[in-house]
Amino acid sequence: MPRLIHRLPKLRKHRASGQALVTLNGHDHYLGRYGTKSSKQQYDRLCGEYLSSGGALLQDSRDELSIVELLDGFARYAKSYYSPDSSEPHNKLVIKRLRIA
Same domain? 85 vs 46: no
Same structural domain, 7 and 38: yes
Write down the H helix ranges in the chain: 37-52, 67-81, 89-100
Domain count, the chain: 2
* CA 21 – CA 17 distance, rounded (Å): 10
Angle at 84 between CA 81 and CA 89, to 5 degrees: 85
Same domain, 1 and 47: yes
**What is the reported pLDDT for 65?**
72
Same-domain check for residues 3 and 51: yes
The answer to whether residues 35 and 80 belong to one domain is no
Shared domain check, 52 and 6 = yes
- Tens of pLDDT, residues 50-70: 888 777 665 554 567 777 777
Residue type, 79: K
Question: In this predicted model, what pLDDT tens digit does every residue of 18-38 receive, in sequence order?
Answer: 999 999 888 889 999 999 999
Instruction: Return all residues near 12 (Cβ < 8 A) that are at least 6 apart.
Output: 20, 21, 22
29/78 same-domain check = no
In terms of domains, do 11 and 44 share one?
yes
Residues 41 and 89 in one domain: no
Domain range for 15 is: 1-59
Residues 52 and 12 in one domain: yes
Question: How far is residue 24 from each of residues 31, 46, 57, 61, 87, measured CA to CA in Å?
Answer: 13, 9, 8, 18, 47
